[in-house]
Amino acid sequence: MSIKLTLNENTHFGVPIKIYTSDIDQESIDQLHKMSQLQFIHSHIAVMPDVHLGKGATVGSVVPTKNAIIPAAVGVDIGCGMNALRLNLKASQLPDNLSTLRNAIERKVPVGFSMHKQIRAKASTLTPLDKRLNQITLKHPALKRMLRHFDSTWVKQLGTLGGGNHFIELCIDENQDVWIMLHSGSRGLGNVIGTYFIERAKKEAQHRFGHVPDKDLSYFAEGSNNFNDYVEAVEWAQEYAYENRREMMHLILEAIRPLLPKFQMTKEAINCQHNYVQKEYHFGEEVFVTRKGAIRAGQGEYGIIPGSMGAKSFIVKGKGNNESFCSCSHSAGRKMSRSKAKRQFSQQDLIQQTEGIECRKDKEVIDEIPSAYKDIDEVMANQTDLIEVVHTLKQVMCIKG
């Protein structure tokens, strides 16, 4: 059995918390305890082996709720997820020096706070997004004041990477096949939507009868105007994040085609998201499942679990484990904060730990050093009941924001 710890079992403290690792810090446990006290949690909370402290809700938690949604549990990088694509190329067909490929991709795909100078996405993608977004901002005009150059920014950010732990990688699998893998979300507008509704939930909680153990666990009750508007906005952001990754993958392929032997994409293309909420059926009831740093791993469903920029990553297939609400980890998971990583490690440490990988090795990305993350092999060993490994990938090039 993969479950290593069960908290609150046979107590009145809150619903049970089932944890798929023993590597969990006390702050995360305290955060989970607070969430477990909410009266609308269904059955239990499942906690994945990449668990670590998060803002509002614990990263790596799967939270099923009845008639309510917690915006802070979904977070501000709404719809953040992964996309991986296998090419019919072998590692031997890649150039010895990958810097040319990296530079070509970075010219096509803006990273960090950058965006496209011109609109890149097709009208067939933008028109339905724009129509739905207008419906949202008509009801919540304050959203437009929270993002500079609102109407052009969200459009020009479609097909951009962002910063932090978002990345584009070129990887090699166990058969020496070449993969492109990327990780990104809903960019600036997703952040604005998340922030706006988190604050509305907090204000609403001040006037609601009933105890909330932490203001970051403020929620919207199903049937209220705020609930319906949040669901509409969060679904928009999740769709935008998906389109963002799709546009990025198109730009990456466009960038590398002139520099590689003629290639095609294989049938293996995986998309998964890990910061989102959707309706699902579990333990006899239809509930809202919020995955905060976790991916769905239903029976036969494919997913992606990346390690750090110096470790392995995995293409996996779900086993449909009911106790985890058909979920698994979304990554290796951080074991130290970004500020601590910057204090503890040097640029030389980064250079050593990313040896052999074409990537940035400057001081600005020390917070993404492999040692700031948990051991991906241990994380994978703790979830053998949840997924099976289909492919093991090793990155040879990594682009960070």
The answer as to whether 194 is a domain residue is: yes
Q: Which amino acids are annotated as binding site for Mn(2+), given as ranges?
A: 77, 166, 183, 274
Count the residues in the chain.
401
CATH classification of the domain holding 253: 3.90.1860.10
Positions marked catalytic? 330
Regarding beta strands 17-19 and 45-52, do their DSSP bridges make them parallel or antiparallel, or are they unpaired? parallel
pLDDT band per the 50, 70, 90 thresholds, residue 208: low
Which of 166, 151, 77, 160 lies closest to 120 in space, CA to CA?
Answer: 160
The answer as to whether 363 is a domain residue is: no
- C-alpha to C-alpha distance for 196 and 78, rounded to whole angstroms: 12
What is the average per-residue pLDDT within 96-116? Answer: 96
The answer as to whether 364 is a domain residue is: no
Structural domain harbouring 283: 5-335+373-400
Q: Which amino acids are annotated as binding site, given as ranges?
A: 77, 165-169, 183, 274-275, 306-309, 313, 330-333, 400
The answer as to whether 297 is a domain residue is: yes
Tokens 């935008």, residue?
Answer: 240
The answer as to whether 131 is a domain residue is: yes
What is the average per-residue pLDDT within 38-66? Answer: 95
What is the average per-residue pLDDT within 171-197? Answer: 97
Q: How many domains does the chain have?
A: 1
What is the average per-residue pLDDT within 324-341? Answer: 96
The answer as to whether 300 is a domain residue is: yes
pLDDT beyond 80 at 211: no
The answer as to whether 353 is a domain residue is: no
pLDDT beyond 60 at 285: yes
What tens digit of pLDDT does each residue of 7-30 get?
988 777 799 999 999 999 999 999
Judged on CB neighbours under 10 Å (0-12, 13-18, 19+), 163 is middle
Range list of H helices, 327-375:
338-344, 347-353
Q: Which amino acids are annotated as binding site for GMP, given as ranges?
A: 165-169, 274-275, 306-309, 313, 330-333, 400
The answer as to whether 236 is a domain residue is: yes
Paired tokens of 213: 């153990």
- C-alpha to C-alpha distance for 353 and 226, rounded to whole angstroms: 47
What is the average per-residue pLDDT within 152-168? Answer: 96
pLDDT beyond 70 at 251: yes
